[in-house]
Amino acid sequence: MELVSGLVARFLGPLWAWIEATPVHVLFVCFVALVLLGFICLFLLLHLVAPKPRPVLPSEKTYITSSPSGTPTAPRQLPCWHDRWQAERRLSEERAKPQEAYPMPDAGSIEPAELYLSVVFPAYNEEDRIIPTLEEAVEYLDKHIGRATDHKAVRSPSRRRHVRAHSAESEPEKQLSGYEIIVVNDGSKDRTVDVVLEFATKHQLHDVIRIVSLTRNRGKGGGVTHGLRHVRGEYALFADADGASRFSDVSRLIEGCEEVVDGSHRGVAIGSRAHLVGSEAVVKVCPVLAFFVFYFPRRIRSIRAY
């Protein structure tokens, strides 16, 4: 005990004496400098340890689907509105004059939507749970939206899914039809792909259900992001493949988007399972996740209020 007291007096004594002899304003400046230095060090540490998304592999920009013959199709190229938007934005920035180069937040356009709704299901080892989810989704979508007769060109849409609405007000709006389901196989080690193909073949969902396989697991966030970059629908939805949410709530999400859509036809609606906290659907998750399921949507609503 005496040794500890001696060490404290030896090292902290001079520091305390310096603090007593230093003016208050100097101490305040030193305190602010230490706080700023701490934040900078924390930022650099987080930047070093934060995972960096890996580049997308060429094979991950293809999909397979079922066919009338009962065998899977060969890999087909996926459309990617994100790649096109980035390319057009880079060209716009290169061609712009220096005095016009900033700000350009809305440079680039997105090709017209081909379908009414795109649904993205990230799936990792969902062999035992994805079929009930697909059954519920297809039953609802067939009844309320219907399948497109021509997946290449359902119609020639007059309104572009873009970030600048330069012609939306001048042309009459037409209704899109049809849907697609994109199952992002996030490196599953079970028969997830096989059971989805069997389901698509059984229900004749050829080219309606598209399976995109990631070579290496990217996590749920990576799977969702990848799927949303390849959607063709006017509305894009992602949901868990475990069927924890009612698929019929999609109509409420679309209504929510229509309520907040801006002049550039952009709107986001977030579905919450906060009302399920404590029920069988949520009780099995860890307490931290249950807390965020309950708390995060309320913070979103408070932000929206501002």
Tens-digit pLDDT profile for residues 209-228: 999 999 988 888 899 999 99
CA separation for the pair 235, 24 (Å, rounded): 59
Q: Which of 8-22, 75-89, 242-256, 267-281 has the lowest mean pLDDT?
A: 267-281
CA-CA distance, 234 to 265, in Å (whole number)?
Answer: 10
The whole-number average pLDDT for the span 237-263 is 86
Cα–Cα dist 207/201, whole Å:
10
What share of the chain has pLDDT > 90, as a percent? 39
* 270 DSSP assignment: -
When the pLDDT of each residue in the chain is averaged and rounded to a whole number, the result is 79
Read off the pLDDT of each residue in 242-252 and give the average, rounded to a whole number: 83
Contact between 192 and 121 under an 8 Å Cβ cutoff? The reply is no
**What tens digit of pLDDT does each residue of 24-49 get?**
888 899 999 999 999 999 999 988 88
**Of 111, 64, 102, 103, which is closest to residue 83 (Cα–Cα)?**
111
Per the CB < 8 A criterion, the answer to whether 253 and 283 are in contact is no
Most confident of 193-207, 241-255, 289-303: 193-207
Residue 97 near residue 89, CB atoms below 8 Å: no
Q: In the prediction, which pLDDT does 235 show?
A: 93
167/207: higher pLDDT: 207
**Quick one: average pLDDT of 227-249?**
88
For 267: left if phi > 0, alpha if psi spans -120 to 50, otherwise beta; the answer is: beta
- Confidence at 102, pLDDT banded by 50, 70, 90: low
Query: Which one-letter DSSP state was computed for residue 127?
Result: T
**Chain Cα centroid distance, residue 25:** 48
CB-based contact 121:130 (threshold 8 Å):
yes
